[in-house]
Amino acid sequence: MPLKEVAFEVANSVDEVATKIRSINTLLPTNDGWHGTNTDVFGIVKSLTEVGIESGVESALLLGAGATARSAIAALAQLNCQEVRIAARRSEQAEALVELAEAFKLKAQVTAWDPDNMNVQHPLVISTLPGDAGQSWTQLAKQAQGALLDASYHPWPTPLAQSWPNTRIASGRDMLLWQATEQVRLMTGQLAPVEAMRISLPVSSD
């Protein structure tokens, strides 16, 4: 979803997590104006839970440093991840994510952006790269042993997901589903019909 940072700037109030990541995807009307929140964090946590990631996960590798990566940092903090390694093309963006992680009391460090020589043997790898941008990581991905969250949902499966050596894979489609269920709850006060919503989501194959 575009304009998450713009929405953050125009909201009259913003919740604590969204304030830290400076990104919102949901505006709720209140008596005091528009209140902003970010349901992507919820969507990431639920997607990871579905592929077996539990609270206290030992470590994670995070690829990318945009708005979705910031949401991923918040989600990892909620899952009490012990440490996250961050790889991004631009080192200054990666360093900014380290500072964000520290704000969530999450241990983090930058690792070199090197698709040909990187340790991917973490319990969890999160890619926030555009779908085809993961192409350069496919050979290295075959060494992976943990779960993958590839935040892309079009095209699907991505080259990275196709090369993953196990079936513990969550997609941007899963994130989209779960963040939408939280939006339904926030906007209506009712639990969302999860399975009906899941069936309604298109599956990309191109």
Residues 6+ apart with CB under 8 A from 167: none
Q: What angle do CA 78, 82, 84 make, to 5 degrees?
A: 90
Question: Is 47 within 8 Å of 68 (Cβ atoms)?
Answer: no
Question: Is 23 within 8 Å of 8 (Cβ atoms)?
Answer: yes
Q: What is the dihedral sign for C-alpha 199, 159, 73, 26?
A: negative
Question: Is 151 within 8 Å of 172 (Cβ atoms)?
Answer: yes
Q: What is the pLDDT of residue 138?
A: 85
Outline where the chain has alpha helix (H).
4-10, 16-21, 40-50, 67-78, 91-103, 138-141, 159-163, 172-188, 194-200
Average pLDDT over residues 8-36: 96
User: 165, exposed or middle or buried, with CB in 10 Å at 0-12, 13-18, 19+?
Assistant: exposed
Domains of the chain: 1-38 (3.40.50.10860), 41-173 (3.40.50.720)
Closest residue by Cα to residue 54 from 79, 89, 27: 79
Q: How far is residue 89's CA from residue 177's CA, in Å, rounded to a whole number?
A: 29
Q: What is the pLDDT of residue 154?
A: 82
Between 51 and 3, name the one with better pLDDT. Answer: 51
Average pLDDT over residues 5-29: 95
pLDDT-derived band of residue 1, with 50, 70 and 90 as boundaries? low
Between 142 and 108, name the one with better pLDDT. Answer: 108
Q: What is the pLDDT of residue 162?
A: 92
Please tell me whether residue 181 adopts helix, strand or coil conformation: helix
* Residue-wise pLDDT tens digits, 64-123: 999 999 999 999 999 999 999 999 999 999 999 999 999 999 999 999 998 888 888 999
Between 154 and 183, name the one with better pLDDT. Answer: 183
